[in-house]
Amino acid sequence: MPKTKAVRKKQDHSTAAIFEAIQAGFPETSDSPEDSVYRYNPVSIRVLIVDSRFEGKSEAAREAIVKRALKDLPRDIWREISLLIMITPEELQDPGDDLMLLEFLTPDGSYL
């Protein structure tokens, strides 16, 4: 399979709605939507939430925090979220071998 080039992090009405909800629920969020959410392809949105409240919490506990904050998003937008990364600021600074985080930060193009 040929290597694809890095893609621009596209924004649309769905990513804007998600970003607005993230900013409301997570005050540590960057002011730049591209740092937190982008459309990967026509049927897939990727989301990164960085918050110190995740420190010491399991993935399930982190997801519960996120679901409470994003509970008012329309169901059709929820269905488009294909990747949800929930990390602390320290985890962002040192991604180590977290391949999903590295892919979020520097995405390869989609074949769709």
- Answer for the pair 71, 103: CB distance below 8 angstroms, yes or no: no
C-alpha triplet 11, 14, 19: angle, nearest 5°: 75
Domains annotated for the chain, with CATH where assigned, are: 13-104 (3.30.300.90)
Average pLDDT of the chain, as a whole number: 87
Q: Which two tokens stand for residue 25?
A: 């629920």
- Residues 12-22 have pLDDT tens digits of 999 999 999 99
**Residue-level pLDDT at 94:** 85
- Residues 40-93 have pLDDT tens digits of 989 999 999 999 999 999 999 999 999 999 999 999 999 999 999 999 999 998
**Residue-level pLDDT at 108:** 72
Using DSSP's 3-state secondary structure scheme, residue 40 falls into: strand
- Answer for the pair 107, 37: CB distance below 8 angstroms, yes or no: no
